[in-house]
Amino acid sequence: MLLVICPHCKNKIELVFENLFWTDDEKAFYKCRSCGREITDADRFNMLLNMDCEQLKELKFPVSILFNALYSPFVSFAEIVQEFKRDRTDNNKFESFAKYWLGKGLEEK
């Protein structure tokens, strides 16, 4: 789990898809799990810039880390939502979305 600091309440939070929200007019934003306030793409960029990388030192190397797209400064919240909406009705596409956009491993059937 990689934690970033909320710009509003200053608590450490994990960025998870369940806290990504969107409106009918395609506006997307993140809600802090701790304080419930809206976090914009600009806020997230600053959160990533100021992230405490000391937490990575606790990992035993070699290690492979899956980060979800919420940790990417190159992808907007709206782009993540667009991919989700496009892929959610097709199981094969949704499995790819879960793996590559959400960084989740797949359960064996």
Residue 87, in any domain of the structure: yes
What is the value of pTM for the model shown? 0.80
Q: Would you write out the chain's pLDDT as a tens digit for each of its 109 residues?
A: 789 999 999 999 999 999 999 998 889 999 999 999 999 999 999 999 988 777 667 766 666 666 788 999 999 999 998 888 888 888 888 888 888 888 886 554 4
Asked whether residue 15 is assigned to any structural domain, the reply reads: yes
Domain, as residue range, for 20: 3-100
Identify whether 75 is part of a domain. yes
Question: Is residue 26 in some structural domain?
Answer: yes
Could you give the number of structural domains in the chain? 1
The dihedral of CA 97, 98, 99, 103: what is its sign?
positive
106 occurs within a structural domain: no
Query: Is 108 inside a domain boundary?
Result: no
Per residue in 18-48, pLDDT (tens digit) is 999 999 888 999 999 999 999 999 999 999 9
**Distance from C-alpha of 67 to C-alpha of 39, rounded to nearest angstrom:** 19
Pick from 109, 108, 83: nearest CA to 98: 83
